[in-house]
Structure 1
């Protein structure tokens, strides 16, 4: 009888252990985190968030997930005291320890849900995560502890997020259109109002002084002197767009990342959507993390550092845009050279100098290089779901450099602007990498 009982108990224990291992295998899979980021990416794209607002959505959600990871893994350090105005994250009670990776997923979703709209956009996905955990054998007590702790961390991050001046800028004054030569005006086909003219008033996360990354003044507007640098930039972009090769067209399309393109055909108008520039780089983080075979914690770390770099880079770039308010190539060429000329890509609704995509791409490249190293070759398949073939890159910096050509080939940025943007986006990325000590090797690398 004792032998039979021993066998029964042993089988029961083995079954319980197997269920636990099944749960960890499924719920601790870093690919599940990337899938969760993609879910928010789809919500952001579907609801027409502008690129700068999208950067806010991803960054706060990733910070919530990261804070959970840091609370459960001594290899990582909380962002408290490292980023502007962020206080210490509450710890989980000793007798109510959560499953930290699962809690990180839930915290990401709760914050992502809160900073997007319509309200509850991720509710079904959150329910699917809980069901998945239950189906894989997660004990109900652990489930409750994880949900409770995810809520605590998410609420802590959301309370901090509310102090970033975002709400105040919703009622700020709009951009003023004037007749001043060289000043930005709305462009076809939407002739939309300027996007987020007060984004430089949003609280940065790492940057403490925008003067540290203040770009030089743009080239003086001059379309009369054929020897002027500005005139040469105008002619250069016009000539390039008028004679694009198939490869150059592919580069422009690949990095288009227009979250809302208005298509006009006669009396018919319809929109097409893609991931924003930030969303594209979030996808690149996932591709790189999978190729590097990174674990769950490293994957969250990579997403968080990259999103923070892009968040601050957008603030730096928007400060330049609405300091100088320069007009787009399309406006200049239509008014002074060829009224029928159109860029290859649709012109975004904000000033030309500096280039947002080039700025955030080079910032993201520095952040990702600090995690996975330089010369990290990868295939970027992000655009396949939009019918655009993949591209191969030898490094993240290589991708950022191609991006600055992409905006030029697209006819929406002068190349001189793209070069300045790449340089200053890299500076923002460097500052983020140097200041954030998120992982033990970050501190070791900074001291070398």
Structure 2
């Protein structure tokens, strides 16, 4: 089952309709195909209503799994995720002794799954999906016979169809339509979450923690890290944590403000999971990974992000912990406001810490924790590229950014890093 072209062929010039979207991709070879699709998916996350962080993480995960299974036949000793992931059975296999172009299979698979995962994308963005699929197909079809092209396209679409059908049963398919369910009534009492200023929105995705995770459940999944007990006693652990957020907000250095704003990734952006898959895709291109190696890495990061979102939201609505702004304004300083907006859901644990803990530790396993890299993903938003000496530094900075921003206690971030790392280790224990 061989590809019909070498792996060193660059993407060809593309029509203006998709040139803007792929202009950022300075990547050659077959890895340019998945990188181009993640670039477009990040645009869809920004511009499609309802793709809040857990919803975005879900889409990213199923995209990566689809990519991995579409190119599995081109990997040496690759293992299917069918049978390894929760509820995913045996998947269609390529025909034995037939030729395939795996870049073409990846292209058609990713086009199909992204269309399915973003049904509310604008007409313009749906047209971009079609255009990018055509552009990539044209770029990778030279020296391929028509039957190889057709076989590869059809196989990619078959894989995407099977993955999508499985995805529809996880409880999150329509999450983008109902981020703020009106039937949810939050608990009332001291220390429980209440809507936060200035918008005082309803609770976001209160049922998301009940979704089916991608990793198979374990008995220990019902064991939780406990937050400090709520207390307004000035000597209590909880009060001291809230007071630390208050004092830090009043004494932020320029660098700390920058860190808070750099990692904010709030509404209208590619979200924290989007930021992390963007870094992963950037590194896959920068390091010129093979198509199979890139597919495995991007699937791992996606699985980690999805399950980080589910576990974090399970924590949030199990403990329903009040946000710092509510505590500080009630007990310390009635006029205090955080540097960045408080999102509309409970505090414990930190989503940023959980997402980054999962993705960062997966990336560290691939490249080495001491691997230095530069994140270029926020340049378009007006930030300078940000360089890290290790993935641990990235994890810690993203986690503490929410304390600097005034929206999390430090114990939110500490617990999120632990649970994110635990997810990463489980993801890495699978066979790819």
Q: By the TM > 0.5 criterion, same fold? A: yes
Q: Distance in 2 between matches of 1:20 and 1:99?
A: 7
- Contact in 2 for aligned 1:207/1:431 (Cα 8 Å): no
Q: Match of 1:269?
A: none
What stretches of structure 1 of length at least 5 have no aligned partner? Answer: 1-18, 261-272, 439-448
- Contact in 2 for aligned 1:58/1:112 (Cα 8 Å): no
Q: Distance in 1 between matches of 2:107 and 2:197?
A: 41
Structure with bigger helix share is: 1
Q: Distance in 1 between matches of 2:214 and 2:6?
A: 38
Q: Distance in 2 between matches of 1:307 and 1:20?
A: 28
Q: Match of 2:16?
A: none
Deviation at 1:388, TM superposition (A): 1.6
2:289 aligns with one of 277, 290, 294: 294
Q: Distance in 1 between matches of 2:73 and 2:101?
A: 11
Q: Match of 1:176?
A: 185
Q: Match of 2:91?
A: 89
Secondary structure of 1:166's partner? Answer: coil
Secondary structure of 1:427's partner? Answer: helix
Deviation at 1:179, TM superposition (A): 4.2
Q: Match of 1:197?
A: 206
Q: Match of 2:120?
A: 118
Deviation at 1:357, TM superposition (A): 0.9
Q: How many pairs are equivalent?
A: 405
Q: Distance in 2 between matches of 1:132 and 1:305?
A: 24
Q: Distance in 2 between matches of 1:284 and 1:82?
A: 26
Q: Deviation per CA, 1:353-376, whole angstroms, max 9, x where unpaired?
A: 010110111111121122222211
- Contact in 1 for aligned 2:107/2:137 (Cα 8 Å): no
* C-alpha distance 312-327 of structure 1, shift in aligned 2 (>3 A): same
Q: Deviation per CA, 1:381-428, whole angstroms, max 9, x where unpaired?
A: 111111122211112122001111111000000011111111121111
Q: Distance in 2 between matches of 1:432 and 1:77?
A: 14
Mapping for residues 134-149 of structure 1, pairs under 5 Å: 134=138, 137=142, 138-149=144-155
Q: Match of 2:163?
A: 157
Deviation at 1:257, TM superposition (A): 1.0
Q: Deviation per CA, 1:275-321, whole angstroms, max 9, x where unpaired?
A: 21100001110222233331222112111101101111111111110
Q: Match of 1:30?
A: 31
Secondary structure of 2:387's partner? Answer: strand
2:172 aligns with one of 141, 166, 191: 166
Q: Match of 1:242?
A: 250
Tell me which moved more, 51-60 or 208-217.
208-217
Q: Match of 2:322?
A: 327
TM-score (norm 2): 0.88
Q: Distance in 2 between matches of 1:322 and 1:353?
A: 9
- Contact in 2 for aligned 1:215/1:420 (Cα 8 Å): no
- Contact in 1 for aligned 2:7/2:30 (Cα 8 Å): no
Secondary structure of 1:392's partner? Answer: strand
Tell me which moved more, 386-395 or 402-411.
386-395
1:430 aligns with one of 422, 425, 428: 425
- Contact in 2 for aligned 1:174/1:197 (Cα 8 Å): no
- Contact in 1 for aligned 2:195/2:202 (Cα 8 Å): yes
Deviation at 1:94, TM superposition (A): 4.0
* C-alpha distance 239-305 of structure 1, shift in aligned 2 (>3 A): same
* C-alpha distance 210-364 of structure 1, shift in aligned 2 (>3 A): farther
Q: Distance in 1 between matches of 2:216 and 2:200?
A: 33
The question of 1:215 aligning with 2:215 is answered no
Tell me which moved more, 98-107 or 28-37.
28-37
- Contact in 2 for aligned 1:375/1:394 (Cα 8 Å): yes
Q: Deviation per CA, 1:150-183, whole angstroms, max 9, x where unpaired?
A: 1110111011111212258778774314541211
